[in-house]
Amino acid sequence: MSLLVWNCQGLGNLWTVKELRDLLRANNPHLVFLAETKCSSSQIENLKRKLDLFGYCVESREKSGSLALLWQKSVEVQLQSFSKYHVDASVRTEESEECWRFTGVYGEPDASKRSEFWHLLCRLSQQSVRPWLCAGDFNEILEHSEKKGGPMRAEWQIRNFRNCLVDCGLNDLGFSGAAHTWCNNHQTPHTIRERLDRACSSSSWSSLFLEARVLHLESPYSDHAPLIIELRPKMKWDLSGCRKRFRFEAVWIQESECEATVTNAWLAPDSPQPECRLREKLASVSARLSCWGRSFGREVGERLTELERLKKFFGNNVAKICGQKKGTVIPVFSMLKQAMDIRLIQFCDCVLLMVLGLSQWKGGEGWCLEYFEGVFTSSRPSPDDIRSGTEHLQPVVSSEMADSLLRPYTEMESLSQYRPISLCNVEGLDNVLVAFETNHFLHTHSKGRKHFMNLKLDISKAYDRVEWSFLRKVMESLCSLFRAAADRGTIPGVAVCRGAPSISHLLFPDDTMVFCPATLSTVQAVRLVLDTYKLASGQKINLHKSSAVFSRNTPRDTRQNLVTVLGIRLENKHEVYLGLPALAYRFKKALFAALKDRIWKRVQGWQEKSLSQAGKTILIQAVVQAIPSYAMSYFKLPKSLLQEFQALAANFFWHDGDRQRIHWLAWDQMCSSKLEGGLGFRNLEAFNLALLAKQLWRLLTRPESLVYQVLKAKYFPHSHLFDATLGSRPSYTWRSIFTAMNLFRSGCRWRIGTGHSVNIWEDPWIPRTPSFRVITPQPLNILASQVSELIDADLRVWNESLVNSLFSPEDRDLILQIPLRLVGSTDLLVWHYSRNGLFSVRSAYHLALACARPASSNEIRWSRQLWSKIWQAHMPNKAKVFSWQAIRNILPTASNLHKRMPQEYSIVLCARKRWKLLSTPSFAAPSLDRFGHSPTFNGVASILLY
């Protein structure tokens, strides 16, 4: 069965009617929904007679709107409700026994009035619990990627559509075909394409039609594309007339008749054609074995019946049964051994051991040896026979490859081939920061005589055309060409500020950026380098995907002339580089809207909704919260956007099928660790700061890197990284990294070497949290300022007399406990919250949580020992999550529902009455009464009342 859904933009046009007939003839839909027919009821009646269809229509108002629902005779349709926005009906077909619901919709074109349409859909969702399919023109998109061209869609419009689908329990069915269903048919660059038409279904409908799919067709006479929805209902397989696949039973080998059956079938006359002999012999053997196996199965059934009779006669005495039918037990147990798990197999081994005795029974190893020794009983090929039979086969591993693999390697050669995955694309990580700083410079460079440009080059299918080893050598050659051109001065590069290194190119296999002055000679030099690379490597530059961006002070005529020489596109700004925004603008939430779309799409699948809360916990931790991690490593995402991410995860966790559920616990408490009564979800704001602090650590430990030299020249040219400031007109990346500076400073301290680089009174060097500084005030008459003055350089020990005279007892004891490193070791900044002194995102994340947590918290502190026992218990994860809910008293019990919704749940709980009865002196002991008033009883009572 299939459905046709189409916004036809008026059926008064004869060409549109002709196209409708062609669609019906080509796809034969059983149900047809048409929007904006702009026809009266009499015109629809005439159309129904011509098309030989039944149907109903909603008349148009002032030559606009109008809906029509048509169906074939084989479909049973009952109209439920209708309006200017929808037609709702129940559908029953011959292919599907279950009755389901279809709603054809036409969304309100005016965005300011579209909330009325969303409220209508929510009301319709509450009128029936049948499987529901809702399709038509919604006049709205679900994510920003569904629109191409024109201004960006307002976030509140998309959010209202998503909330409506969530409240209705509907999921987008996806599509096949063109990405957009509507086009304004304007000329480029004013063309706008959107996906306004779609099909959404409830989880029950998707379960009924597992293979349903939506096809986007093309329409030359309407600006909307027709949709074909193929249902393909779940089939009830009838295997009575099907040919069963041949299966060989291992128990057959123990029967002498099996060998005779195989021999007779194999020696039967065969085909004169050599290529058909093997296939015919195998078919003959399988056919005869199947026929013989059926008779053998009947014999086994008779043996089992006889064993059952003996069991009733002798009882459970296995020895008596085995003594009576020793020859029957062995083949029967051998057959059952194939389908039993390991515990039953061990039981069968014990029974056979009692029957045959230790001398005859060999266990599992004996069975394996006997089986493989008896496989080739009729013909045992010699090594020469095997070699002659395989000499014509094409070897997968050649002799040269085998020699290379078998050649012994030295330890140094093995280490040179080792490349941990954590080190892959390290330069690519630096490229993001350098590219963003350079693009920010071009965007803000609005004055001066010098003009600059940024070329983004795309190599056509760089990974598909050649192997990685060759591609790596080729890219190194391209890098050498650009470096040689920069040394000659033909491609000078761009410096973001005075004293910064000049950047001429940033290479990545399929996404390369070139920075240079916007002059004709420079562009010609770039073109020469690209032509040389193309001829030498065979790689192609995709000019259609390559683009150029110029600094703001570059004249428009100069821009157009230079891109014409290169043959690439002119753009105002590069949108994306290495999967991240190449330049930030004012509205940061819109900059990362794609992340929200990805998260929403991931949690809205009906398969994901069918997970238990334990499965949802794993999906949130492993997938949902990992989606924004890459972007959070470089940018401080807006707090409101992170809250929306967490809201999507919370809604997904507390959902139950197609219905919204109560959020029984605040998300901040669920983000606590499992040993503190939470589920271990990430606090995205703290995790964002931890990832940005990692960038500061990389800058601190890699002063030779290009990104460090660029950032130091621009933001802290005359100071240390610890003393860096935000600076004037900073880029979004540096502004984001700088937000983690306080967290980074609170976790770093100096490890004393010589002590020449550490100030006694200002630098953090005391191993005491949280400040790592001395608490003793600096005396006025003391000139000592460096830690090296407190150390005896010859003996490499602390000057105890000086330390005792300068510091308080608290500081003195900590200083004297600091071990001094060997002679010649320098002072080193280390991360205090790790054992090895190296930075870790995990420790920084927990430090950020500790800094954000208020000093005096009224939050209930649960026993870590109790939670440890629950999460380490050997039981299913869903049982662990249920226990967690019970102990935290967040199950949807009658008492909890009464607290949340007292009007709906105003009944008196039966359990409370019973407890009052048990608490009377005649029934209850003092200990029982104390237990009834304890907090633990609330969790236990929740389980009993669940």
Three-class HEC string of 126-174: CCCCCCEEEEEECCCCCCHHHEECCCCCCHHHHHHHHHHHHHHCCEECC
Residues 849 and 323: their CA atoms lie apart, in Å, by: 73
Which 3 state secondary structure label does DSSP give 897?
helix
In this structure, are residues 118 and 151 in contact, taking their beta carbons and an 8 Å threshold?
no
- Could you tell me the two tokens for 552? 């703001």
The DSSP element (H or E) to which 945 belongs, if any, is: helix 935-945
> Global pTM?
0.67
Phi then psi dihedrals of residue 885, to 5 deg: -65, -40
* 761: amino acid identity, one letter: W
Please tell me the predicted confidence (pLDDT) of residue 782: 72
- Residues pairing with 182 in the sheet: 194, 224
Please tell me the predicted confidence (pLDDT) of residue 846: 92
Which 3 state secondary structure label does DSSP give 177?
strand
In this structure, are residues 580 and 630 in contact, taking their beta carbons and an 8 Å threshold?
yes
DSSP state of 98: S
- Per residue in 685-737, pLDDT (tens digit) is 999 999 999 999 999 999 898 999 999 999 999 888 888 988 888 999 999 99
Which 3 state secondary structure label does DSSP give 684?
helix
Please tell me the predicted confidence (pLDDT) of residue 608: 64
Give the sheet arrangement for strand 569-570, strand by strand. 505-506, 512-517, 452-457, 547-550, 569-570
The DSSP element (H or E) to which 667 belongs, if any, is: helix 667-670
Q: How many CA atoms lie within 13 A of 877 on its CB side?
A: 9
In this structure, are residues 739 and 689 in contact, taking their beta carbons and an 8 Å threshold?
yes
- Could you tell me the two tokens for 310? 């003996």
Indicate the angle between helix axes 426-444 and 706-715, nearest 10 degrees.
30
Low-confidence stretches of the chain (pLDDT beneath 70): 61-64, 95-96, 233-244, 270-277, 311-397, 409-429, 460-471, 509-510, 606-609, 656-660, 823-824, 854-862, 902-946
- Residues pairing with 506 in the sheet: 513
Q: Which of 636, 813, 607 is nearest to 731 (CA)?
A: 636
Neighbours of 809 (CB within 10 A): 9
Residues 73 and 918: their CA atoms lie apart, in Å, by: 67
Cα–Cα–Cα angle for 45, 48, 49, nearest 5°?
90
Q: Which of 211, 214, 165 is nearest to 609 (CA)?
A: 165
Please tell me the predicted confidence (pLDDT) of residue 262: 84
Please tell me the predicted confidence (pLDDT) of residue 735: 92
Please tell me the predicted confidence (pLDDT) of residue 606: 60
Please tell me the predicted confidence (pLDDT) of residue 337: 42
Phi then psi dihedrals of residue 346, to 5 deg: -65, -35
Residues 280 and 270: their CA atoms lie apart, in Å, by: 7
Distances (CA, A) of 880 to 736, 869, 871, 894: 39, 10, 6, 22
Please tell me the predicted confidence (pLDDT) of residue 377: 62
Please tell me the predicted confidence (pLDDT) of residue 358: 40
Q: Which of 438, 493, 428 is nearest to 714 (CA)?
A: 438
Residues 745 and 689: their CA atoms lie apart, in Å, by: 12
Residues 923 and 929: their CA atoms lie apart, in Å, by: 10
Structural domains in the chain, sorted by start:
2-230 (3.60.10.10), 250-369 (no CATH), 449-579 (3.30.70), 722-852 (no CATH), 864-945 (no CATH)
Phi then psi dihedrals of residue 494, to 5 deg: -130, 135
Which 3 state secondary structure label does DSSP give 456?
strand
Please tell me the predicted confidence (pLDDT) of residue 359: 41
Distances (CA, A) of 256 to 134, 260, 266, 292, 431: 64, 7, 16, 12, 73
Q: What pairing do the DSSP bridges indicate for beta strands 2-7 and 31-35? A: parallel
In this structure, are residues 5 and 201 in contact, taking their beta carbons and an 8 Å threshold?
no
Tokens 């779309």 map to which residue? 597
User: From the DSSP assignment, how many helices (H) and strands (E) are in the chain?
Assistant: 39, 27
Residues 624 and 622: their CA atoms lie apart, in Å, by: 6
In this structure, are residues 598 and 627 in contact, taking their beta carbons and an 8 Å threshold?
yes
Q: How many CA atoms lie within 13 A of 746 on its CB side?
A: 19
What residue spans of 775-871 are helical by DSSP H?
A: 800-806, 809-817, 841-852, 864-871
- Per residue in 607-622, pLDDT (tens digit) is 666 788 888 888 888 8
- Residues pairing with 750 in the sheet: 829
- Per residue in 201-219, pLDDT (tens digit) is 998 898 888 888 999 998 8
In this structure, are residues 494 and 516 in contact, taking their beta carbons and an 8 Å threshold?
yes
Q: Report the chain's C-alpha Rg in angstroms.
A: 38
- Residues pairing with 581 in the sheet: 576
- Per residue in 480-498, pLDDT (tens digit) is 888 888 888 888 889 988 8
Residues 317 and 315: their CA atoms lie apart, in Å, by: 6
Please tell me the predicted confidence (pLDDT) of residue 194: 93
- Sorted by sequence, the CB contacts under 8 Å of residue 18 that are 6+ apart come out as none
In this structure, are residues 352 and 319 in contact, taking their beta carbons and an 8 Å threshold?
no
- Could you tell me the two tokens for 134? 């809702």
